Amino acid sequence: MSLIVLGVNHRTAPIEVRERLSISESHSEAFLTSVRSIQGVRGAALLSTCNRVEIVVSSDDEDVIEPVIDHLRHDADLDRATLENHLYVLRNGEVVRHLFRVASGLDSMILGEPQIGGQVRQAYQFASTHGMLDPVLQQLFDATLRAARRVRTETGISEHAVSIPYAAVELARKIFGDLKGLEVVLAGAGKIGELTAQHLSGFGLKSIFVANRAFVRATELAHRFGGEAIRFEDLESRLFTSDILIASTTAPHFILNAEDVERAMVSRRRRSLFLIDLSVPRNLDPAIAAVEGAYLYNIDDLADVAQANREKRQGKTNAAEELIAREADGFLRKLAGHDAVPTILELQSRLEQIRKNELEKCLRRLGPITTHQQEAVEMLSTSIINKVLHYPILRLKESAADSKPEERESLRNTIRKIFGIG
Q: 230 pLDDT exceeds 80?
A: yes
Residue 257 pLDDT:
94
Q: 421 pLDDT exceeds 90?
A: no
User: What total number of domains does the chain contain?
Assistant: 3
CA 285 to chain centre: 28
Residue 346 included in any domain: no
Domain containing 253 equals: 164-309
Residue 410 pLDDT:
83
First to last CA, the chain: 18
Amino acid at 244: I
Tell me: do 150 and 41 sit in the same domain.
Answer: yes
Of 28-32, 115-119, 366-370, the poorest mean pLDDT is in: 366-370
Tell me: do 287 and 367 sit in the same domain.
Answer: no
CATH of the domain at 260: 3.40.50.720
Answer with the residue of higher pLDDT: 337 or 9. Answer: 9
CA-to-CA separations, 135 to 63, 139, 305, 349, in angstroms, rounded = 20, 6, 40, 24
Tell me: do 367 and 234 sit in the same domain.
Answer: no
Residue 198 included in any domain: yes
For the question of residue 50 being annotated catalytic, the response is yes
Give the residue-averaged pLDDT of 382-404. 80
Tell me: do 6 and 114 sit in the same domain.
Answer: yes
Residue 341 included in any domain: no
Tell me: do 262 and 294 sit in the same domain.
Answer: yes
Which residue, 136, 229, 226, is CA-closest to 187? 229
How many CB atoms sit inside 10 A of residue 62's CB?
A: 14
How many CB atoms sit inside 10 A of residue 161's CB?
A: 20
Output 391-397 pairs: Cβ under 8 A, ≥24 positions apart: 392/347, 392/419, 393/344, 393/347, 393/348, 396/340, 396/343, 396/344, 397/337, 397/340, 397/344
Residue 396 included in any domain: no
Residue 405 pLDDT:
67
pLDDT, tens digit (0-9, with 9 covering 90-100), for 260-294: 999 999 888 878 899 999 999 999 999 999 999 99
Separation between Cα atoms, residue 208 and residue 188, nearest integer Å: 13
pLDDT, tens digit (0-9, with 9 covering 90-100), for 74-92: 999 999 999 999 999 999 8
Tell me: do 82 and 95 sit in the same domain.
Answer: yes
Q: Please, what's the b/e burial string for 162-189 (b: 16 or more CB within 10 A of its CB; e: otherwise)?
A: bbbbbbbbbbbeeebeebeebebbbbbb
Tell me: do 374 and 288 sit in the same domain.
Answer: no
Give the residue-averaged pLDDT of 359-376. 88
Residue 115 pLDDT:
86
Q: 96 pLDDT exceeds 90?
A: yes
Of 274, 309, 344, the domain-final residue: 309
Of 188-192, 289-293, 299-303, the poorest mean pLDDT is in: 299-303
Residue 408 included in any domain: no
Q: 34 pLDDT exceeds 90?
A: yes
3 state SS for the chain: CEEEEEEEECCCCCHHHHHHHCCCHHHHHHHHHHHHCCCCEEEEEEEECCCEEEEEEEECCHHHHHHHHHHHHHHHCCCHHHHHHHCEEEECHHHHHHHHHHHCCCCCCCCCCCHHHHHHHHHHHHHHHCCCCCHHHHHHHHHHHHHHHHHHHHHCCCCCCCCHHHHHHHHHHHHHCCCCCCEEEEECCCHHHHHHHHHHCCCCCCEEEEECCCHHHHHHHHHHCCCEEECHHHHHHHCCCCCEEEECCCCCCCCECHHHHHHHHHHCCCCCEEEEECCCCCCECHHHHHCCCEEEEEHHHHHHHHHHHHHHCHHHHHHHHHHHHHHHHHHHHHHHHHHHHHHHHHHHHHHHHHHHHHHHHHHHHHCCCCHHHHHHHHHHHHHHHHHHHHHHHHHHHHHHHCCCHHHHHHHHHHHHHHCCCC
Of 253, 274, 309, the domain-final residue: 309
Give the residue-averaged pLDDT of 206-235. 92
Starting at the earlier edge strand, list the strands of the sheet with 52-59: 41-48, 52-59, 2-9, 88-91
Give the residue-averaged pLDDT of 2-24. 93
Using only the alpha carbons of the chain, give its radius of gyration.
Answer: 29
Tell me: do 175 and 154 sit in the same domain.
Answer: no
Tell me: do 135 and 283 sit in the same domain.
Answer: no
pTM: 0.78
Q: 401 pLDDT exceeds 60?
A: no
Give the residue-averaged pLDDT of 410-419. 86
Q: Could you tell me what percent of the chain has a pLDDT over 70? A: 95
Q: 313 pLDDT exceeds 80?
A: no
Give the residue-averaged pLDDT of 397-421. 76
How many CB atoms sit inside 10 A of residue 294's CB?
A: 23
Residue 334 included in any domain: no
Tell me: do 230 and 140 sit in the same domain.
Answer: no
Split at pLDDT 50, 70, 90, the class of 404 is: low
Residue 401 included in any domain: no
Give the residue-averaged pLDDT of 165-178. 86
Tell me: do 376 and 271 sit in the same domain.
Answer: no
Tell me: do 73 and 219 sit in the same domain.
Answer: no
Q: 365 pLDDT exceeds 80?
A: yes
Residue 317 pLDDT:
85
Of 143, 161, 179, the domain-final residue: 161
Catalytic residue, candidates 50, 136, 235, 276: 50
* Mean predicted lDDT score pLDDT of the chain: 89
Residue 403 included in any domain: no
Residue 156 pLDDT:
80
How many CB atoms sit inside 10 A of residue 387's CB?
A: 9
